[in-house]
Structure 1
Amino acid sequence: MRFSQRIGQTPVNKEIQLEYVDEELTNGLWNLVKMLFIDKLAKYADYGKSDFDKFSEILWHNFYKMPIDTIPEYKSSVEKYIRERFFNFYWYEIYDFLEFIIEIQNNQGEKNKFINSVNGILEREFAGYRIINEKVAPISNQLEFEEVSFALDKTKFLTALEGANIHLTNAIDLISDKKNPNYRNSVKESISAVESTCRIITGENTLGKALNKLESKGLNLNNQLKSGFDKIYAYTNDKDNGIRHAIVTAPIEPDFADAKYMLISCSSFINYLITKAEKIGIKFE
């Protein structure tokens, strides 16, 4: 904590930044783009185009969607243009740009360093987002980040849980679309990830049956916890909601809060199930 914060002259915490990016966050993110990506690109090459020239063409063609013959002649002018565009982006375009930079990086080590540094700035400046699975996801604190990240990692590297990983990835993609989020299907994908995990553990063909059979497999669940997920499953399986069924009547549409709650809760429950199962010797290979 800084001196000014200790004496109450500046606030200790800011409000969580959801649909905006303040000056300090913008500056921090640009500094990382500059130091950890742009400055690392070779500006000149003995033969052919330099890494910076190739990046500029990819940026103009795939992100700006402008004619590549409008790229300025001098590299300093190119970088100046990129900077000016960055500082004039709408808040969601800044996140689009970060995802673009992550996507085009080939060196996994450098990519991981960039992602970790960006997440550090997002946490420091109280942004309501983190980079998860190379996407900007609406996660606002470290605990949420760890739960979702751990669930993705565990299901990614345990072969039998590949289906659960696909569902979680889809849930993140659907809730993270900043222009057209699909909360209904994000909720569906989150609960489907739990269903996939439970079915692998029990061999049952529905989540309801699988939840009831977990104890017979040696997973002793707290009754209240099991009852809670029974009710969550009932909510998503309710025909009036139209989440896991065709929409017949006008349903109550899930919103951001619903989708985020389901993503984090389902990730946590998957982590819980995997830990419990591995403890009693159940293998997912």
Structure 2
Amino acid sequence: MKLFSQRKGLKPVKSVMQIDSMDSDLRNGLWNSLVIFYWDQVKGDWLPNYTNVNLLLKILWLDYFKKPIDTIKNYWEYTYEEIRKYFFNCPWYEVYDFIEFIANNYPEERTNQKFMDFCNSILEKELSAYRFVGGKITQITSEVEISQIEEALEVTSPFKAVNIHLKSALDLLSDRKSPDYRNSIKESISAVEAICKLIVKDEKATLSEALKKIDDKLPLHSALKKAFDNLYGYTSNAEGIRHALLNEPNLSFEDAKFMLVSCSAFINYLINKAQKAGIKI
């Protein structure tokens, strides 16, 4: 069940797409990844019996914590609790530092790669703005992208249909239990279609038709117009196009995010152009 702030669209986009924060679900998921691929390799109490993990901890103490190596407790229970306490109390960005350090210093490359792949699935599921790329934690969602979505949600608040489509696109994208990337894409493009209909004052116009009329009123860059005109296929009733979309197996978070950001930016662009041209929406 969605909470009040989610239903009303009051939760900041920046916190939905975790760019400078980390909620408990994401932190828990990353810790569980460490448990599965590293900590669970220690089956007994005496840490020195587990060469790879013991070596990893020595490197961790030496180069990450910057502590004397002889302060590592040989009884795994105590060392485990010390690491766990740090992980769940450190700032969000240190969690990324920590998992990146582990993935680059454990002596078995195959385990590290599996760990990074598993982490990426958690990062995608929990809508983190970061991924492992080439062994490094890399930001894949920028402040500019976030600001475009937030601006579009704000400037379309007087335009109910447009705003509803944008909120639905974000909601479908950010549903961590059951994300619907395909319908998020449709909602993003439907938001563009809705603002175009308002600008040309023709409720029955298709996106393609509305873009042509807008181009007559306030000339659009030809390449930009063509790009969004081609997106009409996603909301078209043409059976072949719709059928192809519904059966596309590889739509991902990145696809839906790209469409939401692009459509948000285009909506902001159209509203600004219309206002400057003196067109009342």
Q: Which is higher, the Rg of structure 1 or of structure 2?
A: 2
Higher helix share: 2
Higher relative contact order (CA 8 A, sep 6+): 2
TM-score (norm 2): 0.49
TM-score (norm 1): 0.48
